[in-house]
């Protein structure tokens, strides 16, 4: 398979098209990004790497980081994690608070904000130094010590994070947050602030395409069954209320972030990171969605 040629071709096609959507506006850090940035990196389970564009420039991965915190927590406490958070798609963003009410404080899945907050709470309860441990974990899965939090982004988020504060306290009122909301939110904002480039991101997620093993040091991050389950959750819940659309058009498990990044996994084949900051109405990278749709169409290969 000539991945490089295919990637180049699609990159050219998408670059020529109109770049729709708009930058995330709610935090200053994200609204100042160059909207024309566009990078791709695809890494295969047989150790090849193909990239193009701004693939070496770091960006704020935002909600993509929720994969990593989920996996850390899953490693630590195993399947009891699912007593604190569900695995169902949430329907619409509109419903998140209503659902918390009818579900008595159990978030629908670990990728909506409420669910990611509960995951942070779990990490705090089980780790001595959650922030350091998180960076160590990122180092382990990506064999890369250059991944770090962005203090500026954390500060930016905190200054406008009233809705997340509301969510965290609301879940606390149902007893599904054990620690002080302040501490939980601090970890949450830090995790969402990390910056990575497409190459780092594709590499960090490759174990999800490799039955749970990192390629570099063959360390088992998750067992095969756990890996499949993480992929399954990404498939049904990874793109907010556009998860069905992504599944329909791209046909791969994946996760997006409001920084314009998307990671997608083809089990046993490859992981791919795409970055383009302009977001569609549902908050997912416009060009990122487009690129991946064309990719799986051209490759005639999705999980379906």
Whose tokens are 């100042």? That residue is: 32
Number of residues that bind a second copy (CB under 8 A): 54
- Per CB under 8 A, the list member of 243, 255, 291, 294 interacting with a second copy is 243
- Per CB under 8 A, the list member of 21, 53, 89, 283 interacting with a second copy is 89
The neighbouring-strand residues paired with 254 are: 264
Q: How many other β-carbons are positioned within 10 Å of the β-carbon of residue 94? A: 10
| Distance, CA of 50 to CA of 144 (rounded, Å) | 18
- Per CB under 8 A, the list member of 34, 101, 178, 219 interacting with a second copy is 101
Shortest distance (Å) from residue 114 CB to a second copy: 11
Question: What are the Cα distances from residue 286, in Å, to 2, 11, 32, 289?
Answer: 25, 13, 17, 6
Q: Residue 292: enclosing H or E segment and its boundaries?
A: helix 286-299
| Distance, CA of 70 to CA of 143 (rounded, Å) | 19
**Contact yes or no for 117/176 (Cβ under 8 A):** no
Shortest distance (Å) from residue 148 CB to a second copy: 28
Q: Is 201 one of the binding residues for a second copy (CB under 8 A)? A: no
Q: Which is nearer to a second copy, 78 or 244 (CB)?
A: 244
Sign of CA dihedral 107, 279, 299, 51: negative
Q: Is 97 one of the binding residues for a second copy (CB under 8 A)? A: yes
Q: Is 80 one of the binding residues for a second copy (CB under 8 A)? A: no
- Per CB under 8 A, the list member of 102, 128, 129, 218 interacting with a second copy is 102
Q: Identify the DSSP state of 66.
A: H
Q: Is 127 one of the binding residues for a second copy (CB under 8 A)? A: no
- Of residues 104 through 123, those in contact with a second copy by CB under 8 A are 108-109
Distance of CA 199 to the CA centre of its chain: 15
Interface with a second copy (CB under 8 A): 86-92, 94-95, 97-99, 101-102, 108-109, 162-163, 165-170, 172-173, 181, 224-225, 227-229, 231-233, 235-237, 241-245, 247-249, 251, 253, 267, 297, 300, 302-304
């Amino acid at each position: 398979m000539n991945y490089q040629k295919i990637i180049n071709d699609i990159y050219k096609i998408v670059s020529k098209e109109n770049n729709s959507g708009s930058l995330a506006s709610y935090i200053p850090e994200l609204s100042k990004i160059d909207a024309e940035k566009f990078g791709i990196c695809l890494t295969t389970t047989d150790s090849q790497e193909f990239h193009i564009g701004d693939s070496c420039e770091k960006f704020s991965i935002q909600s993509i980081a929720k994969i990593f915190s989920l996996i850390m927590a899953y490693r630590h406490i195993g399947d009891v994690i699912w007593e604190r958070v569900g695995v169902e798609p949430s329907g619409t963003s509109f419903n998140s608070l209503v659902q918390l009410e009818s579900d008595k404080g159990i978030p629908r899945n670990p990728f909506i904000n409420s669910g990611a907050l509960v995951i942070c709470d779990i990490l705090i309860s089980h780790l001595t130094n959650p922030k350091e441990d998180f960076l160590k974990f990122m180092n382990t899965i990506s064999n890369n010590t250059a991944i770090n939090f962005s203090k500026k982004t954390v500060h930016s988020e905190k200054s406008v994070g009233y809705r997340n504060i509301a969510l965290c306290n609301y879940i606390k009122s149902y007893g599904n947050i054990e620690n002080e909301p302040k501490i939980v939110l601090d970890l949450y904002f830090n995790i969402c602030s990390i910056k990575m480039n497409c190459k780092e991101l594709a590499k960090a997620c490759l174990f999800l395409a490799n039955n749970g093993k990192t390629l570099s040091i063959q360390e088992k991050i998750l067992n095969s069954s756990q890996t499949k389950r993480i992929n399954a959750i990404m498939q049904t819940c990874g793109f907010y209320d556009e998860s069905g659309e992504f599944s329909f058009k791209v046909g791969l498990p994946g996760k997006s972030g409001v920084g314009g990044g998307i990671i997608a996994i083809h089990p046993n084949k490859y992981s791919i990171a795409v970055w383009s900051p302009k977001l569609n109405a549902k908050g997912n990278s416009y060009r990122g969605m487009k690129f991946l749709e064309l990719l799986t169409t051209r490759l005639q290969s999705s999980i379906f």
